[in-house]
A and B are shown apart, each in its own frame.
Chain A
Amino acid sequence: MTDTTMDSVNTLFRPGTSDKEIEAAALKAIAARKRTVLFWQVTILVAIVAIWEIGARTGFIDPFFYASPSAIGSRLYEWATEGTTEGSLWFNLGVTMEEALIGFFTGSIAGIVVGVGLGQNKLLSDILSVYIKAINSIPRVVLAPIFIMIMGLGLASKVALAFIMVFFVVFANAFQGVREADRDMIANARILGASDWKVTREVIIPSAMSWIFASLHVSFSFAIIGAIVGEFVGARYGIGQLISIAKGTFDAAGMFAAIVLVMLVTLVAEYLMTLVENRLAKWRPQQSLDTH
């Protein structure tokens, strides 16, 4: 964004051009650039879909393995109107979302609490760091079979997997955010009269917040991954189960349809999160230039 403003300001104007005219020209340039970006974004999408569709119809791409956009579209339509083999599409989507959201919220809250707590306790974090590193080095998905064995095919095992995936990302960032909190700012709060709890709440957590938010963006997709992988390994309902069944019946369109669905859900969640973040971080410089 800064580049645009530079460009439009750097344009040469004839002497005698008023500020109003320069501003109008700058606004025009910004709008034109936005249109160019949007145009190419749409064009690329259309091109990919078109090539895929044409390739599938001419036999250049094997539709048995790669399906085709029209087949995916009609499968989504069929699922939405008539339901899937495992019941209504919305029910299945709801199951996956429930697992992911519970995992996401509990995981991020636990991550923030533990990260902020350990970040302030040097001794405890030195002692525990070796265990945290050890647990962190386990690829999370290998825990799926264990969770399913312990907690069964239902909600709990998927939530546990989503939780563990979210927890470590948020924890690591919250911990680092606390460590980066400005020493002078903390000293300032103490001398102004803040208690330990006030220092944590009003100085340390807000300054770790940008770190925490950076992790929340990634960790929502991690929560979805946790839920879906859990469903792959063993479940009765959910998007992961739909993909698993589609795989079993060599239904490529079904697999891609499920992927598109998850992609849309994650994009919407990401968008909502950015809205919340911009709301909370209105004190940060240059927020107005953000255009997600």
Chain B
Amino acid sequence: MSDRQTNPPAIELINITRRFVSPTGKSLTAIRDFNMTVERGEFVAVVGPTGCGKSTTLNLVTGLARPSAGEVRLMGAPVNGIDPRVGFAFQKDALFPWKNVIENVMAGPLFRGRSKAEAEKMAKDWLARVGLSKFLHHYPHQLSGGMRKRVSLAQTFINEPEILLMDEPFSALDVQTRTVMHEELLKLWAERQASVVFVTHDLEEAVALADKVYVLTAGPATVKSVYTIDLPRPRVVSEIRYEQGFIDYCKTIWEDLRQEVETSYRRASEAA
């Protein structure tokens, strides 16, 4: 207990409920009685049926949205506005198309008041790490999807976030590029030991990357079950999928997830 007090978890969501009210006055509950704890340096994946409110949980942690009830705590303190220790990787491209690669990566440090020379040095360093040193002056539209994702990662990591939130960041990539990006993410994460919440609809991706997998119910989302993935690290994502342990985890969790996916489909077809 004393350890908890001196070193509280990175993220705590305590009995969170989040309602949306439409302009016509109809209320919709996206998340209900949601509890989640992410320890420091832990990699947590969140899976659930589409549209169940996975992304909403992330927005609550960034401080961009506030819970209707319950409390969000970061490093033991309640969230109050956007926290500088948080980094966010978006599903679709959120790069600034009018800035070239290095300017995009420099944006974070510059926004946070670093000098231009300093920001440039940091950006070059990060772009070298993601293998884009030759593309400093290209504009985003001149790059492939995988390269743009690397720029985004560099843009996020340059601020050295202690908490990294990822909202289906690789879902738009082709399968091969995706595997490469998984490896790069795990490498960067291992160096920095950030606490990660990785939202995805891809169960295999979740099992391959995470320490813990949260399965959510069909909306309103609440935690259905939590699985601890006890596969050894460092993991090689391209090979792990053929290991028996990995396959067993996927099967077990899928059994659990399938009911929720079916519920979600049934509701969608009833509504239509």
Contact = CB atoms under 8 A, between A and B. Distances in A.
Interface of A: 182, 184-185, 187-195, 198, 202-203, 206-207, 209, 281-285
Nearest to A187: B64
A123 to B, nearest CB: 14
B96 interface: yes
A192 B98 contact: no
B98 A191 contact: no
B111 A195 contact: yes
Q: Helix, strand, loop or mixed for chain A's interface?
A: helix
B139 A192 contact: no
Given A193-B112, A285-B141, A187 B94 contact: yes
B111 A198 contact: yes
Contacts of A198: 111
28 contacts: A182-B94, A184-B92, A185-B95, A185-B96, A187-B62, A187-B90, A188-B94, A189-B111, A191-B62, A191-B64, A191-B82, A191-B86, A191-B87, A192-B107, A192-B112, A192-B156, A193-B108, A193-B111, A193-B159, A202-B107, A203-B96, A207-B98, A209-B98, A283-B97, A283-B98, A283-B99, A283-B140, A284-B141
How many interface residues does chain B have, given as a range?
20 to 34
B100 A194 contact: no
Query: Closest 3 A-B residue pairs measured CB to CB?
Result: A188-B94, A193-B111, A192-B108
B84 interface: yes
A71 to B, nearest CB: 50
B98 A206 contact: yes
A283 B99 CA distance: 7
Q: Helix, strand, loop or mixed for chain B's interface?
A: loop
B214 interface: no
Contacts of A209: 98
Given A202-B96, A283-B97, A190 B90 contact: no
Contacts of A281: 98
Contacts of B142: 285
B64 A192 contact: no
B155 interface: yes
Contacts of A187: 62, 64, 88, 90, 94
B151 to A, nearest CB: 12
A184 B94 contact: yes
Nearest to A206: B98
A194 B107 CA distance: 9
B84 A193 contact: yes
B142 to A, nearest CB: 8
Interface in B133-178: 139-142, 155-156, 159
B88 A191 contact: yes
Contacts of A182: 94
Contacts of A189: 96, 107, 111
Contact of A283 (B100, B107, B155, B159): B100
Contacts of B86: 191
Among B82, B100, B140, max chain A CB count under 10 A is at B82
Nearest to B89: A188
A188 B88 contact: yes
Contacts of A207: 98
Nearest to B97: A283
Given A189-B107, A283-B140, 13 more contacts: A185-B96, A187-B88, A187-B90, A188-B88, A189-B96, A189-B111, A191-B88, A192-B108, A198-B111, A282-B139, A283-B98, A283-B100, A285-B142
Contacts of A284: 97, 141
Contacts of B62: 187, 191
A118 B111 CA distance: 24
